[in-house]
């Protein structure tokens, strides 16, 4: 099997289709997704925050708000690259048609990744604006956060697409959430720093993308820690590039047997 | 030059041999039919031609190009009507055509209304495909396959599920395309359809081509009044199952 570089022009056409659908849906069905991180911010930041004044000198609500920006991007990408992609691929047979046009599997994967990133940026940025309105932003570097949300989302998307194309059965998708997304959400340093946990938890966390994206968003929002931002970005880029061929190979196996 | 040339084409799914060393030529501007019972390998053969199934062995040339190596180029010049309706259920009827044009990078502003009229869906352009009847969905699939003005159209059971009038309309449409210089490859389970619109055809059974030629030649060769008789003569079974 030969691996080819995707065509940006073809990937754009796949991305454009998803945007077409989203434009007609977002006002209705997709609105609640915007509210999710806000609920966490209110419940934990302002609720729990009344008891925990600060973490390492940072007010508690400011601490978790900067982390929730990263998880907003993760959740948006997770749903998009598991359930949505599965339905397009297996139930609607949408990709059978797409692949009968000049679009190839690698273009399709890149286009769907780009769309997942777009959703992550939309949801992440809307939440970032809400965080700003609450006055929880400490550094002007926060304005470049969306760029890094794209990079983190690309990594989440590559993992989600790998899972979806390898597993193939919607019945097993809950494992992705129970064993991967939810633990990452809880243990990646969004709600508390990992400092006082045993050393091995740091090692495990280091291998998850959310941990790195949280360090990036927190680094940008709470005060520029630019070296840390660059290091964590490098991690995300390397993992994304390394994983890209996995969904390409598996999708081809399924759709072009 | 032939529009499609298959040589010793072979394809398995695991243990199962779906297409078993078949040879065939589809001439330019003709209508070529694949007939055969369920599971004969018709769809698999079509999918190899339009790039949705890999070729395990043999040689396949489509529009003068190697179908295995130049898939993107081949696909840009084809139109495909699949056996299963794989419309974009989240988009409207019109958006389905607009988006399809985009996949091909085709300029289609003027063509969309023309194709909607051709499919007799002008009144339904704002509907979602799920709101259409099965026959209307088939007509939309056919209209969609014409968006890039293809030189070769592959139609997998284009008239299955159509009422007699709609079937006649599709036949007229296919005749019109052929007169316009388009090559057609189709599969069908309807003998009268094959005799009416196919210039030449291949009858498949268990992955092999068991008869090949024009309807008239085949009837004469086996001394049968129709294609059903030809198939029974060769295999001792009926064509439908
Ligand atoms: N994706 C697949 N995976 C495994 N086996 C398959 C797959 N697609 C087809 N087959 C098998 O290959 C054989 C040929 O199938 P194919 O769909 O080409 O038949 P067909 O002539 O189009 O039949 P029908 O008239 O029912 O559409 C069948 O035995 C079928 O079960
Ligand atoms: Mg078939």
Q: Which of B22, B23, B29, B21 is nearest to B1 (CA)?
A: B29
CA B153/CA A73 separation, integer angstroms: 43
Residue with tokens 């048609």: A97
Compute the nearest-CA separation of B76 from chain A (Å).
5
| DSSP-assigned beta bridge partners for residue A120 | none
Rounded CA gap, A209 and A232, in Å? Answer: 9
Q: How confident is the model over B100-118, as a mean pLDDT?
A: 91
Residue with tokens 């948006």, as numbered in its chain = A76
Q: How far apart are the CA of B53 and the centre of ligand 2, in A?
A: 13
**Please, what's the largest Cα pairwise distance for chain B?**
53
CB contact under 8 A, A96 and B102: no
pTM: 0.93
Using pLDDT thresholds of 50, 70 and 90, give the confidence band for residue B241.
low
Identify the pLDDT of residue A54.
87
ipTM attached to this prediction: 0.93
| Strand ranges, E, within chain B | 2-13, 16-27, 31-35, 57-62, 65-66, 78-81, 152-156, 183-187, 200-205, 208-213
Could you tell me if A255 and A173 are in contact, meaning their C-beta atoms sit under 8 angstroms apart? no
pLDDT in tens, B183-222: 999 999 988 899 999 999 999 999 999 999 999 999 999 9
Mutant choice from A100, A107, A108, A251 vs B, greatest count of B C-beta within 10 A: A100
pLDDT at B108: 79
Predicted local confidence at residue A2, as pLDDT? 61
Contact A255 B100 (CB under 8 A): no
* Closest atom of ligand 1 relative to the B157 alpha carbon: 27
| Mean pLDDT of all residues in B167-172 | 89
For residue A255, give the chain B residue with the closest CA: B52
Q: How many CA atoms lie within 13 A of A37 on its CB side?
A: 28
Domain boundaries, chain B: 1-77+152-167+182-241, 86-150
Provide, as residue numbers in chain A, all residues whose Cβ is less than 8 Å from the Cβ of B103. 13, 98, 101-103
For residue B34, which atom of ligand 1 is closest to its CA? 21
Residue with tokens 């003998």: B191
Q: What is the pLDDT along chain A (257 residues), one digit of tens a residue?
A: 567 899 999 999 999 999 999 888 766 666 777 788 888 888 888 888 888 888 888 899 999 999 999 999 999 999 999 999 999 999 999 999 999 999 999 999 999 999 999 999 999 999 999 999 999 998 999 999 999 999 999 999 999 999 999 998 989 999 999 999 999 999 898 998 888 888 888 889 999 999 999 999 999 999 778 888 999 999 999 999 999 999 999 999 999 99
The rounded radius of gyration (Å) of the Cα atoms in chain B is 18
Select the CATH number that applies to the domain covering B1-77+152-167+182-241 from these four: 3.10.450.50, 3.40.50.1360, 3.40.50.450, 3.40.50.300. Answer: 3.40.50.300
CA distance B10 to B57: 5
Q: Where are the domains of chain A?
A: 8-255
How far apart (Å, rounded) are the C-alpha atoms in residues B50 and B18? Answer: 16
């Amino acid at each position: 099997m030969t691996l080819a570089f995707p065509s940006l022009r073809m990937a754009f056409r796949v991305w454009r289709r998803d945007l077409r659908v989203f434009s007609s849906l977002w006002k209705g069905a997709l609105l609640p997704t915007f509210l999710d991180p806000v609920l966490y911010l209110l419940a934990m930041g302002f609720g729990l925050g009344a008891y925990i004044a600060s973490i390492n000198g940072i007010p508690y609500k400011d601490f978790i708000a900067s982390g929730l920006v990263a998880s907003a991007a993760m959740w948006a990408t997770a749903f998009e690259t598991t359930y949505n992609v599965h339905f397009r691929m297996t139930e609607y047979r949408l990709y059978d048609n797409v692949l009968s046009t000049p679009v190839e599997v690698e273009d399709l994967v890149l286009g769907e990744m780009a769309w997942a990133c777009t959703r992550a940026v939309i949801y992440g940025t809307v939440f970032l604006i809400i965080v700003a309105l609450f006055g929880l932003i400490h550094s002007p570097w926060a304005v470049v956060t969306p760029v890094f949300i794209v990079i983190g989302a690309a990594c989440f998307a590559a993992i989600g697409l790998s899972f979806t194309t390898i597993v193939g059965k919607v019945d097993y998708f809950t494992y992705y959430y129970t064993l991967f997304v939810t633990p990452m959400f809880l243990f990646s340093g969004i709600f508390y720093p990992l400092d006082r946990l045993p050393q091995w938890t740091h090692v495990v966390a280091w291998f998850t993308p959310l941990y790195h994206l949280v360090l990036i968003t927190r680094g940008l929002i709470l005060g520029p820690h630019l070296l840390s931002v660059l290091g964590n970005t490098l991690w995300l880029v390397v993992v994304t590039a390394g994983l890209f061929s996995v969904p390409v190979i598996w999708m081809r196996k399924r759709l072009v047997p | 030059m032939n529009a499609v040339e298959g040589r010793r084409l072979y394809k398995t799914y695991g243990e199962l041999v779906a297409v078993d060393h078949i040879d065939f030529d589809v001439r330019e501007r003709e209508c070529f039919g694949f007939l055969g019972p369920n599971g004969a390998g018709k769809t698999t053969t079509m999918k190899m031609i339009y790039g949705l199934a890999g070729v395990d062995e043999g040689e396949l040339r489509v529009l003068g190009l190697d179908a295995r190596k130049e898939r993107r180029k081949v696909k840009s010049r084809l139109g495909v009507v699949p056996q299963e309706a794989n419309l974009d259920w989240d988009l409207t009827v019109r958006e389905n055509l607009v988006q399809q044009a985009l996949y091909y990078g085709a300029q289609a502003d003027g063509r969309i209304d023309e194709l909607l009229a051709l499919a007799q869906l002008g009144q339904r352009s704002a509907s979602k495909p799920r709101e259409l009847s099965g026959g209307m969905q088939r007509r939309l699939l056919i209209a969609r396959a014409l968006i890039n003005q293809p030189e070769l159209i592959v139609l997998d059971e284009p008239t299955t599920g159509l009422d007699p009038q709609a079937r006649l309309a599709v036949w007229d449409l296919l005749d019109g395309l052929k007169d316009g210089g388009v090559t057609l490859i189709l599969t069908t389970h309807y003998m009268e359809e094959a005799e009416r619109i196919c210039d030449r055809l291949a009858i498949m059974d268990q992955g092999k081509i068991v008869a090949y030629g024009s309807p008239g030649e085949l009837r004469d060769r086996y001394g049968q009044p129709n294609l059903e008789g030809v198939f029974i003569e060769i295999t001792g079974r009926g064509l439908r199952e």
